[in-house]
Amino acid sequence: MHVGVEVGGTFTDLIAVDGETLVVRKVRSTPANPEVGALNALDTCGIGMAQVADLAHGSTVATNAVLERRGPRVAFVTTAGFRDILFLQRQARRQVFDLAYANPAPIVDRASCFEVVERTRADGTVETALEPARVAGELVPALKAGGFEVVAICLLNSYVNPQNELRLAQAIREHLPQLQISASHDVARQFREYERASTTAVSGFVQPVVDQYLLKLEAELGRRGFAGAFSVMQSNGGRMPAQAMRRNAVAALYSGPAAGVMGAVYQVGKSDVRNLITFDMGGTSTDVCLVDNGAPILTSSTEIDGLPIQTPVLDIVTVGGGGGSIVWIDEGGMVRVGPQSAGADPGPACYGFGGTLPTITDAQLLTGTLRPDRFGQGAIALDRAAAERAFAPIASHMATGVEEAAAGAIKLVNAVIVRAIQRVSTARGRDPRDYALVPFGGAGPLHAAEVADELGINRVVVPPRAGVVSALGLVSSEYRRYATVTRLLDADSSVGEIVSTFAQLRRDLCDEFARLGHPTDSLAFEHVLEMRYKGQAFEIQTPLSQEELGSLSAAGLRKKFAYEHNRALNHAGRPDAPIEIVNFRVGAQTRSAKDISLIGAAGEGAASGGDGKEGRVFVGGSWQECAFHDELHLGAGATITGNAIVEGDTSTAFIPAGWTATRDGSANLIVERN
C-alpha cells in the first residue's frame, strides 16, 4: 500500500492505494497533538501497517511552531557590528498609516543575539579570520549560561565563502556538543543579509520541533508494525525522506498547501488541463496557486508571520477564509468573515462539538447547500437549529432572516477568495480568464462556480473526492530537492560560468540524492536564473530548458530575460541596458510512472446523472429548486445542469443556475458556464 496522510487545521485526510484498492478517510484533527489525528486516520482505515510500503506525510507542525512561538530557546550569532540585523529589518511598512506600527517580532529576543569578531568581504576574501580561542573564551560561556538548545549562525558574506562560519560551528560543537546548529551556508546560501539571517533563525527554531514530532510519529508507526519508507512533503511541492527533513525543517513550513497543489495538478492533468488556478478551501483557510502548463509557479522566498524565508516554495497565497471561518461584527458595525476560525475544536456550531459562533459551514447549512443528514454522506449529522442560534445575532444586526444573513456571509468569504486569486494571477501578469479554476478541500467545490463567475472564469474542474486531494498530492508527488547559490555576474560575458555553475549544482544534488539512497541516473532537472537590469532592486526568474542551456548565448539569454521581464512587469526594459545575474537555482526530482484513481469502484451510476433528488437552496435572495446527486453514482458522461448539488463522502459541489457539469472519463467534473 502507498499511503498519504495530510494533517489540516480542522480535518486530517488519508488515502491509501494499491492497484485497484482505494481507501479514503477524513477524521477530525487534534491541534494540540497533531500526530494523534494522523494515527487516528491510520487506525480507522483498517490497513495493517506492515502492508504499507510508502507513507507520505504533510503537516502544519512547523508553521504552527512559528505562529504560536512554541519552540526551543535559540541563540543568534553574527559578525561583530551586526547584532541588531533581525530587529532593523527593512524600511518597508506594511501599514503605512498605522502610527503604532511595529516590525514583525523576530524569532529570537535581543538578549539572545551575540557577536563574534570576523570579517569576510563581498568577494569571499577572508579579511579577519575567526579565532576559535576567542569563541571558547567569550561566546561559549554566554551560550552555556543562556540555557540555549539551538544556535543559529549567520556571518557576513558567508554565502560566498563559509570558511569562518564552518570554524565557528566546529568550535561550538567542540565545547557544547548538545546544541543543535543552524548555519546560514547550509540553510540559505544567498545574499541579502536580513533575509538570510531570518531564514537561519527560523530554521533553527523549527528544527527541534519537527525533529521531535517526526521521531514521535515514527516510534508510534514502528509499534504498529510499519517498516516502509517514510517521507514528508516540502513547501516546494516535492517529498523528501524524513531523515533529510530533520536537517532542513524550514522546507516543511507549507507542506500541506503544497501537497494540495500537486494533487490537483496530478488529477486534472488526466483531463489534459494544464493551465489552472488551484483553490484549496478547508476548514481554517483558503490557499490558491497558479499553474502554467502543468508546472506550479515557484518563488524563491516566502514569509511566515511577517518574517522572510529564503527557500524555494510554491507561490501560494493563503487567506483566512475557510469553512470554519467565524462570521463577526467589527467596531464599525460591518459584518466580517475570518481570519479567526472555529477550527477542529470546537468547530462550527452545527457540528455539535460545542461551537457556538457562526461560521461559513453553518451558513452553507442554512442556505441548503449542505443537508443535515448528508454531510460527508452521513459521517456527521449537522444541527440546523444550532446554526440558526449561532447566526441569530448576525441576522438581528442586519435586520434580516438567518438565511439572508448566511447568504451574505458566503458572499463576503467569496470576495476574500477572489482577491486572493487576483494576487496570484492579475498581480503576476496573468489573466485568470485564461485558466481553469480547480477547487478542492472540503469547502472549495461549494464556492468555486460563484468565485469563477466573479473573475470571469468560464471553466471549473472539480476533482473526484475533492476533500482529500491534498492526501493524493502526497502519494502522487516525487522526491524533489533544490540548490540555490548567489553569483553576481554580468550576463553578456558569463555564458561559460553560467554553464559550469549549473553543472556544479547538479552534481551537488546528485550527491545528495545518492546519500539518500535514490538512483541519480533518472533525475529530471530544472534550471532558473534570477536576473535583473543593473540598478534594479529585485530579480526576475528566468527559466532555462535543457536545450536552451545546451545552446546558450549572450544574445539568447538577453532575449529570454526580456521576455520574462515583459511578462512580469509589462515592459521589457531598454534593449542595451546591462543585465546582471544574481542567483542560480537548480531543481532535481525523481521520475516514476503512477496511476492513482480517486474514484475507486465508484462511478457506476447511469450516464444521465444518477438519482437526482429534488430539494431547495437559498440563492439570489430566494429559495430555488435544486437537484441533489450522489458523487459516487455519477458515471462517465453524466451531465447535470444547475441549480444542482453533488454530494460526496469528502466534499460537496454546488453548480448554480447558468452552469452545466459533465463527468469526464477521468472522473473529473467539468463545470462550464452555459
List pLDDT tens digits, range 352-389.
Answer: 989 999 999 999 999 999 998 887 666 678 999 999 99
Find the Cα–Cα–Cα–Cα dihedral 81, 86, 91, 94, rounded to 10°. Answer: -170
186 belongs to a structural domain:
yes
535 belongs to a structural domain:
yes
According to DSSP, residue 479 is labeled: B
Neighbours of 145 (CB within 10 A): 8
> Of 589, 613, 639, which residue sits at a domain end?
589
CA distances in angstroms from 498 to 132, 385, 484, 552, 579, listed in the order given: 36, 66, 13, 9, 14
Domain assignment of residue 488, given as a range: 480-589
96 belongs to a structural domain:
yes
382 belongs to a structural domain:
no
Find the mean pLDDT for residues 397-415. Answer: 94
470, 33, 40, 477: which is closest to 256 by C-alpha? 470
209 belongs to a structural domain:
yes
381, 382, 352, 377: which is closest to 365 by C-alpha? 382
Over 60: is that where the pLDDT of 603 sits?
A: no
> Of 546, 565, 589, which residue sits at a domain end?
589
Compute the radius of gyration of the chain from its Cα atoms. Answer: 26
Instruction: Output the pTM of the full model.
Output: 0.89
Find the mean pLDDT for residues 281-309. Answer: 89
Contact present, 71 and 112 (Cβ < 8 Å)? no
The answer to whether the peptide bond before residue 583 is cis (omega within 30 degrees of 0) is no
Over 50: is that where the pLDDT of 602 sits?
A: no
The predicted structure's pLDDT at residue 605: 41
The predicted structure's pLDDT at residue 611: 55
363 belongs to a structural domain:
no
> Of 533, 560, 589, which residue sits at a domain end?
589
Average pLDDT over the chain, rounded to an integer: 90
Q: What is the pLDDT of residues 449-485, one digit of tens each?
A: 999 999 999 999 999 999 999 999 999 999 999 999 9
566 belongs to a structural domain:
yes
Number of domains composing the chain = 2
91 belongs to a structural domain:
yes
Q: What is the pLDDT of residues 170-214, one digit of tens each?
A: 999 999 999 999 999 999 999 999 999 999 999 999 999 999 989
Report the CATH number at residue 498: 3.30.1490
Over 80: is that where the pLDDT of 96 sits?
A: yes
Contact present, 171 and 77 (Cβ < 8 Å)? no
The predicted structure's pLDDT at residue 607: 40
The predicted structure's pLDDT at residue 282: 86
According to DSSP, residue 578 is labeled: -
Whole-number Å distance between alpha carbons of 395 and 388: 9
According to DSSP, residue 37 is labeled: H
Helical spans, DSSP H, in 130-187: 132-134, 140-146, 163-175, 184-187
Confidence band of 427 (pLDDT split at 50, 70, 90): confident
Helices and strands per DSSP (H, E), number in the chain:
18, 35
Whole-number Å distance between alpha carbons of 531 and 552: 15
Whole-number Å distance between alpha carbons of 165 and 149: 19
